[in-house]
Structure 1
C-alpha cells in the first residue's frame, strides 16, 4: 500500500470545485479546532498565508447542522459551524503523518500491543484495515507506537497526535451507538493514559472508561450472543468480544482504585465475565487478565467502596489468591504477584491510623516489605517485553517507591530497628535509574523515574545527594525543565506537598485490631 491510498491527491486533475470546497471547509474547521485546543498552527498542513485566505472563504455553508448549534454559533458571531464530515478524515489524510510513517507505527502496534484490544493472531492486513477504518482508533494506535521513536520528528508528532486524539474523542463521545473500534480506542487511551500525554492523568481514564461502559448499553457490540469457541475471527467471536469487555472493566477498576472513585461495574458483571469465559481455551495472558479483574474488584470492594476492615480485607485477598494460585506457577506470574502486593499495601496503608503501637509498628514494617517486594520483582523480572507494559504497572512501581520514601521520611526512627534504612534508600534510587533506562525519552519509564527521583530528593535530601554523588555522579537530578508538568512548580525553591501528588488514600480505619499482621500467603 502506498501513501496515495492513505490521503487524497490534492493535485488530481479530476478534482471538482465541490471537492475543493469540502477540503477548504475541512481545513478551516481543523484550524479552528487547533486554536481551541491550543495546538500550534505549525502542526497542521496549513501555512499562515493559507490561513488568511481560508478565513475569507464563504461562511454561509450550513450543511446539515444541528439547530441548537446553529443558534449557538449565531449568538457567538460564528456562522461557519462545524463540518459534519470532520470525523471521516484520519491523521494521514489530515497530514499529521505520512502513509509510510503510519505503516511503520501500525507495525509496531501490531507486534507489541494488538492483544490488548483483542486483535488475535490473524491476517495483519485485515487488522490494519479495521484500524484504518476508524480515525480515532488509528490515532490511538499511532500515538502509543510513536513513543518508541527517539527522533525530533517523533517529538513533533507526539504533541500533534495528542491534541488530535482529544479532539476526536470529544466528537466520538457524542455519537451513539458506538462501533467496536470506539471501545478498542478507549481501551488504548485508558491503559496508557500517562504515556499519551507524558504526565499522570493526562487523560481521565475513569471518566473515559465510564463513558464507554455506559455506551455499551446502547451498542450491540457486547450484546449476549450464542456461545462460540472460535478465537480465530478478528472481531467476530463471542469470546474475543468478552475478552475486550473484560479488559475495559479492568481498566475502569484500575482507575477507580487509583482515583478513589465509584465503579460503574458491578460484582455481578465481574462474576459473569469469569463464568462465561472458558479457561481451557484461553492463553496465559488472557486468563491472567480475568484474574486481575477479580483481584481489583476484591481490592475495590474492600478498600474503596467501603471502610477497611483489616481482617476481612486480608481474608478476601487470601481467598482470591487461593482461587488463582495455579497462575503463580505459570510464566509471567510476576504481574499478578505485583498486583497482589499492591493490594495488600493499600489495605495496610488505610489501616495504619488509630492502631495500638504494636500493630502500628507491624503494619509499618510490612508496608516497607511490600514496597520493596514490588520494586525488586519489577527489576529482577525485566525483559524485552517490559517497555511494552501498560501504564498501570509503572503506576504501581512508582506508588511503591514514593510510598517507601514517605515511610522512611516519617517513620525512620520506628523502622531503623527492623530494616536496613540505607538499603531501602538505595533501592528507591536504583528503581528510578532503571525506569529511566527503558525505551526512548518518550517512554513512561522516564516520566515515572523522574517522579521517584524528585520525591526522594524532596523527602530524603541529604541521603539523596550522598547516594547520587557516590553511586551515580553522572546521573543528573531532574529539574523543572524536564519534570512532569503536573507538578507545575520549581523543584528546588518551593515546598512540595508530596501527599497531594498521590491518590487520596486517607485512612478508613475500622475497629481497633489486637492482632498482628497476617503473614503473606
Structure 2
C-alpha cells in the first residue's frame, strides 16, 4: 500500500485531461505542498493464481514500479541478513564476549600518521575484534547492582576483596578497613561499585565474566553518562572515573571502548572547579584523607596524560599543575608506588610537550635531552623494585618521538633512526616478557597498549624495510620470532576475556598480514610450521560508538594504506 492523493493520481488526470499527463511527482514533494489534499490508499497490483474481477486501481508508471520492487527486494535481503545475525548472536550469547564478523563494507581512508592508541584500534579493526553483542536492557533506576539483583551480596564481597588486593592502591582503598565496611562505603556510589565489580569479575572465571561483565559495562555506561552532568562530585566519582579510564580496553573488550581522555578531562575540570586557585587538592596535607585526595589527583593526571599521548589530543593540564604533583613525594609519607606515580606524571608531560607536540614538528634531539633530564631527576627509582614500568615508559617516549618524526611530511628514514626504532620496540617487548610475574595480569591497560604499539611498529618496520635491514645485518627472522613469541605470551595471561588476549589477536592479525611468509621452527621437534590466524581473516571490527559518538570511532583508519605511507629509505 502507498499514499497517493486524487489530485496527484496520474490515471485520474489522464481520464479527465488526456493531453496533460505529467509524471508522478517525487514522494517528498508532497511534504512541501501548500494546499490540502485528500489521501487515499492506492494498492499495488499483485499477480495471483485465481481469477478475480478487475477493479479500478491507479497504476504506477513501469519505471517507478520496477524501482519500488527493487527496493522491496533489497529490504527483504537486509531483513533476512539481520535475522540470521540475531539468531547467531542468540546462540552464542553467554559464551562469547567477543565476536568475529565478516567484512562487508568499505573502510574509511587511512590516516597517514595515526597516534599510538589509534594505531592499535586500526589493527583491532583489521583483526575483527568486536565489543559484546546486544544484551538485556538495564533498568534506569539509581539503585546499585546489588539492590537490583544483578550481583549477589556474597559475590560483591568477594569481588571487592579481589579488587582491593590488586587495584586498591590506584583508588586509595584502605588496607585496614574490613571488607564489609568498605563494601558499605562503596555502595554509596552505584557507579564506583559497578566499576569495581566490572574490573574484578574479569579475574574470576570465564563463565562469571560472560554472565556479569557485559551487563555491568552497560550499567557503568549509563551511570557515568548521568554523572558527567552533575557538578561537585564526591571522591567516589573520581575513583570510578579513574578505574574506567585505566582499564578502558578491558571493560568493553575493545580499545577505547570508553574514552578515558574525555572522562579524566571531566574529572580534572571538576577538580579545578572544586579547588579554585589551587588546581587540585592540597599537596602539603598531613591528614590521611587529604593525602589520599592528593594521591588520587596524581593518578588522574597520569591517566589523563597517558591518553593525551596515546590519542594525540590536547591536555587540560598546564606546567604549574604538573609541578604541583611533585610535592607529595617530598613529604616522606609515601612509598615507592606513589613516587613512581609522580615520576610518571613528569615523564608523560615531557612526552606530551616534547615527543608529540600539538603544534609543529617534533625536535628529536630536544626530546631526547628532556628525557635524559627526567631520568637524572628520578634515577634513584630505577634502582628500586618495579622499576621496569619506568624503563618501559622511558623507551616508549623515545619510540613515540622517532615515530612522530618519521611519519611527518617530507621525512626520510635513515639507518640510525630505523635501527633505533627497531631496538626500542624490541627492548619494550623483551622487558615486558622478561619481568612478568603474578601481578602482570593486573597491570593497567596502558602497559598493554605500549607493548602492542611496539609490536605493531616493529611489524611495519620489518615489512617496509626488510631489504635494508638485512643489508645492515639485522636478524629479521629473529624479530619475526619475537613478535610470534609475544603473541603466545599475551595469550597466556589471565582469562580469555583479559585485554591481553584481545590485543594478542590484534598483533597476530597484523603479523600475519605483514609477514605472511614467516615460519616458526620448533627446535625440539624439528618441525617448521607456517604461522596463521585463519579465524580472524577478512574480519571487521564492529565498533561500539554509542557512548561518545563524536569522539570515539572518528579515528578508525585502515592499516594497509598506513603501511604504504612510511617514508622512503634515505
Instruction: Answer whether TM exceeds 0.5 for this pair.
Output: yes
CA–CA separation in structure 2 for the residues paired with 1:134 and 1:244? 17
Question: Where do 5+ consecutive residues of structure 2 fail to align?
Answer: 1-131, 545-556
1:479 to 529, 535, 546: 535
Q: In the alignment, which residue of structure 1 is the partner of 2:298?
A: 246
Q: In the alignment, which residue of structure 1 is the partner of 2:286?
A: 229
CA–CA separation in structure 2 for the residues paired with 1:272 and 1:440? 39
The answer to whether the 8 Å contact 1:456/1:464 transfers is no
Asked if 1:376 is matched to 2:430, the reply is yes
CA–CA separation in structure 1 for the residues paired with 2:385 and 2:374? 19
2:151 to 84, 97, 104: 97
Number of matched residues? 416
1:82-121 → structure 2 map (5 Å cutoff): 86-87=141-142, 89-121=143-175
CA–CA separation in structure 1 for the residues paired with 2:460 and 2:376? 32
Asked if 1:305 is matched to 2:362, the reply is no
1:226–1:324 CA distance, 2 compared to 1 (3 A): closer
When structure 1 is superposed on structure 2, of 421-430 and 299-308 the one drifting more is 299-308
CA–CA separation in structure 2 for the residues paired with 1:278 and 1:215? 26
The answer to whether the 8 Å contact 1:44/1:96 transfers is no
Q: In the alignment, which residue of structure 2 is the partner of 1:318?
A: 372
Q: Which has the larger radius of gyration?
A: 2
Q: Deviations along 1:231-255, whole A, 9 cap, x unmatched?
A: xx4xx1x221111001101101111
Asked if 1:273 is matched to 2:325, the reply is yes
> Could you tell me how far 1:429 is from its partner in structure 2?
0.8
CA–CA separation in structure 2 for the residues paired with 1:449 and 1:177? 40
Question: Where do 5+ consecutive residues of structure 1 fail to align?
Answer: 1-36, 46-81, 489-495, 508-513, 515-521
Higher relative contact order (CA 8 A, sep 6+): 2
Asked if 1:497 is matched to 2:549, the reply is no
1:471–1:196 CA distance, 2 compared to 1 (3 A): farther
The answer to whether the 8 Å contact 2:325/2:345 transfers is no
1:102-501 → structure 2 map (5 Å cutoff): 102-125=156-179, 126-219=181-274, 224-225=281-282, 227-230=284-287, 233=288, 236=289, 238-278=290-330, 280-302=332-354, 303-306=356-359, 307-352=361-406, 360-416=414-470, 417-463=472-518, 477=533, 479-480=535-536, 485=541, 497-498=558-559
1:506–1:462 CA distance, 2 compared to 1 (3 A): closer
The answer to whether the 8 Å contact 2:159/2:200 transfers is yes
Q: Deviations along 1:231-289, whole A, 9 cap, x unmatched?
A: xx4xx1x2211110011011011111111100001111010110344252211111001
Scaled by the length of structure 1, the TM-score of the pair is 0.74
1:21-40 → structure 2 map (5 Å cutoff): 40=135
CA–CA separation in structure 2 for the residues paired with 1:99 and 1:92? 6
Scaled by the length of structure 2, the TM-score of the pair is 0.67
The answer to whether the 8 Å contact 1:179/1:219 transfers is no
RMSD over aligned Cα atoms: 3.2
Secondary structure in 2 matching 1:462: coil
The answer to whether the 8 Å contact 1:150/1:441 transfers is no
